[in-house]
Structure 1
Amino acid sequence: MSDRLINIEDGLIKPLLSLLLKDKATGENIIWATDTYPIFMTEKDILLHSEMIRPRVEKSLDEQKTRTKRKAEVFTPTWVCNRMNDNIDKSSETKTWKEYVDSKVLEITCGEAPFLVQRYDTVTGKPIPLKDRAGLLDRKLKAVGKNTGVYDEWLKWAIRAFESSYGYEYQGDNLLIARINLLLTFVDYYKDRWEEEPGKRLLRHITNKIVWNIWQMDGLKNTVPLRKDRCRIRDWRRDKTVMFMG
């Protein structure tokens, strides 16, 4: 078992990689959106060069500095995310737990999605125990776990937690990592509650939700990076796709 934070060759991720790479707005794959690699992110290339998909903390300092300079890529420390999420939660104190789970949250320029899920510390790379994770989606899933007692109800509201959690990102490798982080977060909470692995069909179902909700976008233009395609997202409560208007 690899000790890498993101392992594309993992038996859980690899079968879902083609779906994780999809751009729902274009019907094609997401793009690198960087000068470093070819434009489209293909399953074949990523499997051949899996070392390209690394969280920022595992990249060299020179590469981190280059991406900060060229793409304004700066990651927020986990403790800062927690403080900001605490403030967001204060506005939800009067909500029922179901209203809380259903309340929509959006992480703009989400990078690896540390405001939504916290598998590891963004500065040190140290894994964060489930009980200490404080991302907005982590908090929703903990509310589900606290307030549901049977499998079907837990699964229904866990899925709704994912349906109400959104994020967009410009860089293709960051976007893929964010999607994988959400997927592995679902697996972590599922295994913790039910002491077994989720089935393949369920994993594909939740991955499709994630791919819709964590999408690639130029936040200044509301379009796919380097293209004119407008971004569409899913409104799960109304069961329809809508044009994102930032």
Structure 2
Amino acid sequence: MNGFYRESSIREKFPKVLDILLLDRTRSTARASQNIIWANSNYRSKGKEYAQTSQIRSSLITGKRDNVIRSRAFKSKDIQKVRTKQKAEVFTPTWVIERQIDEVSADHRRSDLDSYLKIKWLEVACGEAPYITTRYDMETGDFIEVPERVGILDRKLTVINETLSEFLDWQKATELAYKTVYGFEWNGDSLLLARENLLYTYIENYVSKWQIYPDEKLLEKIAVIISYNIFQMDGLKYIIPLSEKKERVYSEQLSLFNDPEPKRWIIRKGIRVKVMDWEKNKMEFFDKGIGE
């Protein structure tokens, strides 16, 4: 299993899938696609294409640049400190994740399969999404085998693997499991890693169950769900990061003494984030109903 990822990652082997994982569903339209943005200055030294508000393009993270985005465990200590200071980025040890999810899942252990799969989960400031899937140890980066994972999606997939023996039933249940887990993140690099982790989790469970690799069409189908459910957002304002603008305004009217009017600042509201409601099959504003 590990050899598959050493030889070729999703970024290199499945460019169409990568393009899906880079989409910003809030800003994309039927006419034009928009990607998630970097939303940090950690990569600015590599060129203007890596500026905070620049979109993450596949060409910037593939080929000779395939090591640009790396898990926090493999980032330099200096970068880790900067990200912790600026955005309070920290990651929780796997054993803590396991105990916390054990606690919140206690009431659902006796649910039937359909009810269990429909339970919705939102990981706030999700980073690389360890509460959804614990593919690797967040402190060391060590790979965790499928049976030993403890994320909420991991648990749902374990139940599916143990319960269903027909492929079509398995695939339908797996898609439902993916549609019920959500997460948002400020940093574009971490967001992409989170999305990739969810897709790799699908591949790894597929191989574990069926002993073959899924085809590209199946990967695209799961990637679409992931691109809607794991999204980029400023969790305090429910907007696309850095989309709120502060502008200086001058009055064109002269004062009585022929002096210019004092300058003032106005805030241009940011782009409200939308999220997919799969039951209605439509996008809704994330903050709909909040504060009403």
* TM-score above 0.5: yes
Structure 1 residues 7 and 73, CA gap change in structure 2 (3 angstroms): farther
1:44 alignment partner in structure 2: 59
Shift of 1:238: 2.2
CA distance in 1, matches of 2:179, 2:69: 25
How far apart, CA to CA, are the structure 1 residues paired with 2:207 and 2:40? 36
CA deviations on 1:54-81 (whole Å, 9 max, x unpaired) are 0000111111111111221111111111
SS of 1:166's equivalent in the other structure is strand
Tell me by how many angstroms 1:171 deviates: 0.2
Question: Paired residue for 1:236, among 264, 271, 278?
Answer: 278
Q: What CA distance in whole angstroms lies between the structure 2 residues aligned with 1:218 and 1:159?
A: 27
Q: How many residues align?
A: 244
- Secondary structure of 1:91's counterpart equals helix
Q: Is the 8 A contact 2:133 2:149 kept in 1?
A: yes
Cα deviation, residue 10, structure 1: 4.1
The residue number in structure 2 matching 1:26 is: 27
CA deviations over 1:98-138 (Å, ceiling 9, x no partner)? 11111100100000000000111001111101110010000
For structure 2, list consecutive stretches of 5 or more residues without a partner in the other structure: 29-33, 43-49, 244-269
Taking the aligned partners of 2:206 and 2:141, their CA distance within structure 1 comes to 23
* Structure 1 stretch displaced more, 75-84 or 203-212: 75-84
Q: Deviations over 1:219-240 (max 9, x none)?
A: 0000010111111111112222
Q: Percent identity?
A: 39
Q: CA 1:21–1:34 in 2, change beyond 3 Å: closer, same or farther?
A: same
Distance in 2 separating the partners of 1:93 and 1:21: 35
Query: TM-score, normalised to structure 1's length?
Result: 0.94
Q: Does 1:96 align with 2:108?
A: no
Aligned AA (2:19): S
Q: How far is 1:15 from its partner?
A: 3.6
TM-score (norm 2): 0.80
SS of structure 1 residue aligned to 2:283 = strand
- Does the residue aligned with 1:52 lie in a helix, a strand or coil? coil
Higher relative contact order (CA 8 A, sep 6+): 1
1:208 matches 2:209: no
CA RMSD in angstroms, aligned pairs only: 1.7
Q: Structure 1 residues 200 and 8 mapped into 2: Cα distance closer, same or farther (>3 Å)?
A: closer
Runs of at least 4 residues of structure 1 off by over 3 A? 1-4, 6-10
From the CA coordinates, give the structure whose radius of gyration is larger: 2
Counterpart code for 2:114: K
- How many Å separate the matches in 2 of 1:10 and 1:127? 20
